[in-house]
Amino acid sequence: MILSGAILLGLLALWVVAAAFEAHRLGIGLRQAFLYLPFRLAYRIDDSRLRAVARAEAPVIYVVWHQSRLDPALMLSLLPEQTLHILDEEAAKSIWLEPWRELARTITFNAKHVFVSRRLVRVLKGKGRIAVYMPDEVEPDVKTFRLYRAVGRIAAQAGARVVPVFVSGGRFVHGSLTPRQQAPRRWFPKLSIAALSPMTIAELVERSGGPSAITASNALFDRMAEARLAGADLDRSLFSAVRDAALRFGPSRTIVEDVLTGALSYRRLLTGARVLGKRFEAMTSPGEAVGVLLPNTNGVLLSLIGLSSAGRAAAMMNYTAGPANLAAATQTAAIRVVVSSRAFVEKAALADIVEAIEKAGARLVWLEDVRAGVGALEKLAAALLWRVPIARQSATDPAVILFTSGSEGTPKAVVLSSRSLIANAMQAEARVSFSPADRLLNVLPVFHSFGLTGGAILPLINGVPLFLYPSPLHYKIIPEIARKARPTIMFGTDTFLAAYARTAKDDDFSSLRFVVAGAEAVKPDTRKTWRDRFGAEIVEGYGLTEAAPVAAVNSASHGRDGTVGRLLPGMRKRTEPVEGIAEGGRLWLSGPNLMTGYMTLDRPGELQPLADDWLDTGDIVSVDREGFITISGRAKRFAKIAGEMISLGAVEMMVTALWPEHNHAAVAVPDKRRGERIVLVTTAEGVDADALRRCGKQAGAAEIMIPDGVVKVTEMPLLGSGKTDYVAARKMAMESLGLGLAA
């Protein structure tokens, strides 16, 4: 009995000493430290970022993502004792939370009254501190968004600084407020508290950039999304991110499926990737670029993750680009080895592509041969070591090399690090609502950045089951696949989505919650068709390969038809004036998702980094008061006619409104008198110059916008991504008009 008492006293004394150490380390009271210690030990909490800003100069508002029942207890333990905590009714009445509620002042949250009270403004003006707990919704509804407006208004009136706080991993603890099917529970996962530096509402609004600053509520909303992004671990390789997802969501969880080889769990995916990775390691050098010439099947993901595990960069080769472009890509990225499949090459009739690659100096490695040579010991070792990377891992090393579409010229190699790719996936996760309860259908090829990041990496590292289909051009088959696979999310382009709708039955896409569209503008008819027939909203975004690729996106809470949405969290923009364009300017971007740099054919294998971390997108845009971006067109997609800049994209929109069932491309060709003139390349039969002039006048278009030449084609040239191939379209126009190929 005496011994037991002595042990208990000893443990208590040790607890007090540890609490005293925590109190000194964190600058909090002893009672706070005493109650914080069990959380610190059980969840191995990284609190360094909160510690750095917790005692920011008052007045200050701590705006906390409320993910679990632990959040109020953690904040009551860690924030200064004089902080007034605004708790929801459950937290205010919870019996287990009683010891923590005694650590500071609390009031009960009442959405109808508390935020219209002037009391909070008075508290803040008296150098006070407030902690507000916001619902964990990346796409808040109207009622929830009122809280952002209220907090923004209070902060502005009191001149208070705002400190966003996000507890990374909080969604997965027992006590999470997220349904289990969306966030599987784990016992004592490691938690990390992300807290951003204090900023006033005025400072948040001012830094939004552009000719007009965004509203205070949107500035606060964006800052909260940045805190969510800050809670993500971006300093991982692609392999490590997929491995961590396997451990979080369960190694036996089915994560990817295709129409050829069936379904793979995380464990089988990583086991197979390790087998391939060991073979890739033996035939290449560390950091070397290895070509991947494969369609959307399980094999392409096995190769991608295997290369990441082995410390090699995967150069995703566009097999629709033609022999000359593939040869150029091989030389540009200094590729010595290309991974492919004999069955794929034969079925897709790519013998000329293979020949061009070999002539460019690379050799083909066939997956069929690799698999046939794998022995039982290799399989056993891979099964035991599936969690372990083969080579040293670094988030900043090149992970993927993609090639620009070449829609306006010679393709360049875009080098993306693991950090860029993971950042972009997590930026999307902080803006668009999806979860492991969803199912994603990806028909976009992974040699395209949209299909790679959005359609493969994002679901893999977020536990979203993925169904891969090898070609977006199978317009009749894909609706049938959707009817069987029952996806809730789908990726596509306007061209492809319009084609699927023409062949689909009304119930083929009925399982979809939304469709993410990019690469080209979504036509109003396409949006209406998918909304009316399938009940699916098309979420339009904007991206470019150099941004890995998504830069802006619409969402349920922040969506506006005709725009490409608002910038993703963590990104910054600036616009530069363009001569001849009155509204908007040339868009420049900065952010954690930007590429490492280019490789070009004249400097093969040599990385050319961004000069100052800013990327010239080459797009002309305008930005409204709420941050929505409207694309006027590529700078190269403007015609300069008699000194005036005319958007070729706007011309296409005008023509499409008149003949929506056909495809159109407006191109600029040389004109001796006015510098350039606009020619319309179209699949429509009834379009001629006179018809264009009549309809243009009826639409109120300026005379200078109306094409004065028409070239009719049976089929619009497209790139593998589904974009219009403007190089080919302009070539058709030049040849048809007898202008040659100059200029």
- 10 Å Cβ neighbour count for 25? 12
Spell out the SS3 assignment of 152-172. HHHHHHHCCEEEEEEEECHHH
3-state DSSP assignment of residue 723: coil
Q: Which two tokens stand for residue 481?
A: 């696949």
Q: In which element (H, E) is residue 586 found? A: strand 585-590
Query: Do the Cβ atoms of 445 and 472 come closer than 8 Å?
Result: yes
For residue 79, what are the CA distances in angstroms to 37, 47, 89, 237, 450?
14, 11, 21, 34, 41
Q: Supply 210's token pair.
A: 């552009």
Closest C-alpha among 125, 133, 142, 144 to residue 109: 133
DSSP H or E segment with residue 264? strand 262-265
Tokens 């997108």 appear where? 617
User: Structure tokens of 364?
Assistant: 């083909």
Helices and strands per DSSP (H, E), number in the chain = 27, 33
| Contact (CB, 8 A) for 539 and 526 | no
Asked whether 179 and 173 are in contact (CB, 8 A), the reply is no
Q: Which of 51, 394, 388, 466 is nearest to 234 (CA)?
A: 394
Measured from the Cβ of residue 528, the count of other Cβ atoms closer than 10 Å reads: 12
Task: Locate the DSSP E strands across 75-215.
Answer: 84-87, 105-108, 129-135, 161-168, 192-195, 199-200
Rounded Cα distance between 355 and 362, Å, is 10
Among residues 24, 66, 474, 664, the one annotated as catalytic is 66
Active site residue 558: no
468 contacts 415 by C-beta, under 8 angstroms: no
Burial of 242 per CB tally in 10 Å (0-12, 13-18, 19+): buried
End-to-end Cα, the chain, rounded Å: 96
Alpha-carbon span 487 to 467, nearest angstrom: 8
Cβ neighbours of residue 347 closer than 8 Å, sequence gap 6 or more: none
Question: Per DSSP, what are the bridge partners of residue 80?
Answer: none
Under 8 Å between Cβ of 129 and 58: yes
Which pair of structure tokens corresponds to residue 277?
Answer: 């990775």
Task: Please tell me the distance from the alpha carbon of residue 265 to that of residue 104, in angstroms, as a whole number.
Answer: 47
Nearest CA to 397 among 312, 280, 301, 291? 312
> Tokens 């005694």 appear where?
102
CB 319 within 8 A of CB 290: no
Q: DSSP string spanning 201-239?
A: HHHHHHTT-SSSPPPHHHHHHHHHHHHHHHTS--SS-HH
Q: Which residues are catalytic?
A: 66
